[in-house]
Amino acid sequence: MSLSNPAFSSTMSSSSQTSTRPMATSAAAAPSLLQQVGMAGGAAVITVTFIHPIDVVKTRIQISSEYGALGMAGSTKKIIAGEGVTALWKGVNAAWLRESSYTSLRLGLYEPCKVAFGCTDPESTTFLKKFAAGSAAGGLGSLAGNPFDVLKTKMMASEAAGSPSIVATAKELMNAQGVKGFYRGIDSNIMRAMVLNGTKMGVYDQAKGVVVGLTGLERTSIVTSFLSAATAGFFMTCTVSPFDMIRTRLMNQPADARIYNNAADCLVKIVRNEGPLTLWRGFIPIWSRFAPTTTLQLIIFEQLRSAMGMKAL
C-alpha cells in the first residue's frame, strides 16, 4: 500500500497524536498521607460547626445533676434563657482546633493503619482487625488533640455571661497547673478515643459490606455511607458513653483542685457515689451528637476521597 494514500496518512497522523498525549487513567494517583489527614480535618471542622450546640448541652448534663434532671430540651432552654443563644457555641474555636488535630488524624490515619494491620481485602478482613486499626488511629489522634479537648470542655462548661476566651482559659490553666494541666484526663481520653474510633471505623467499614450485600448498592453510594454511618453512631454511643463521662469529669475539675486522681479513681467514685447508670447519663444527647456528626463526617470524607481519586473505605 502506498504511503501517499490519504487514508493511511490520516491514520498514522491520528496514531502519532494519540501517542504524544498522556494516557487517561481510571483513577487519579492516591493522595499522600498529608492530603488524607487534610481531607479528614476539613470534613471534621465543617461538621463540628453545626453539631457543637449538642456537645455543649451534653457537657452540661454530664457535669451537673441539675442539668441532668432537666434533660436535653430543658437544659437547652435553661442555657438560652440564662446565657443567650450564642452560649450554645461556647468553646467552638477550641473545638475547631481539636477537630483539626484529633479528628483529622483519627480519620486520616485509618486507612494507613488498616494497611499496617494487613487489612488489604475488604471481603476477607475481620471486624477485629478493622477495630484495631481504628483504635490505633484514635489513640494517636488523642495525643495531639488533648490540650484542645481540655480547653473546649472547660469553655463549654462555663455558665458566665458571654463567650469565654480561649486565650484566657489557657492562661488560667497554665498558671494553675502548668503544661500538665493540658493533658489532664489523657489516660481516659486515649481509652475513649481508641474505643470510639475503633467502634466508629470498624462498624462503619463492616456495615458497608452488609448494606451492599443486602441492597445491592455500590460502596461509593451516599445512601450506603448514610446507613453505615448511622449504624456506627448508635454503637459508638453504647461503647463510648462511660469513657465520655469519665473524661468530662476529669477535664472539668477546678483548676486549683483535684477531685479525681485518674480515670480508675474517677470510675470508682462515680459508681460508688452516683450509681453505675450515671456512666450513661446523657446517652440521648451523646447519641444526638454522634449520629449526625458521624454521618456528616464520613459522608463528607468519602466525597472528598472520591474527588481525589481514592476508593471508598
In sequence order, which residues have a C-beta less than 8 Å from that of residue 293 and are 6 or more positions away? 47, 48, 51, 233
Q: For 221-238, write each residue's pLDDT tens digit.
A: 999 999 999 999 999 999
Residues of the chain where predicted confidence (pLDDT) is lower than 70: 1-31, 122-123, 255
Q: What is the pLDDT of residue 307?
A: 81
Q: For 152-179, write each residue's pLDDT tens digit.
A: 888 888 887 777 889 999 999 999 889 9
Question: DSSP string spanning 274-302?
Answer: H-GGGGGTTHHHHHHHHHHHHHHHHHHHH
Q: In 3D, which of 95, 88, 70, 247 has the Cα closest to residue 169?
A: 95
Q: What is the pLDDT of residue 300?
A: 87
Question: DSSP string spanning 175-211?
Answer: HHH-GGGGGTTHHHHHHHHHHHHHHHHHHHHHHHHHH
Task: Please write down the HEC assignment for all residues of 63-80.
Answer: HCHHHHHHHHHHHHHHHH
Q: H-helix or E-strand containing 114?
A: helix 110-116
Q: For 253-279, write each residue's pLDDT tens digit.
A: 876 778 888 889 999 999 999 999 999
Q: Which residue has the cell 504524544?
A: 20
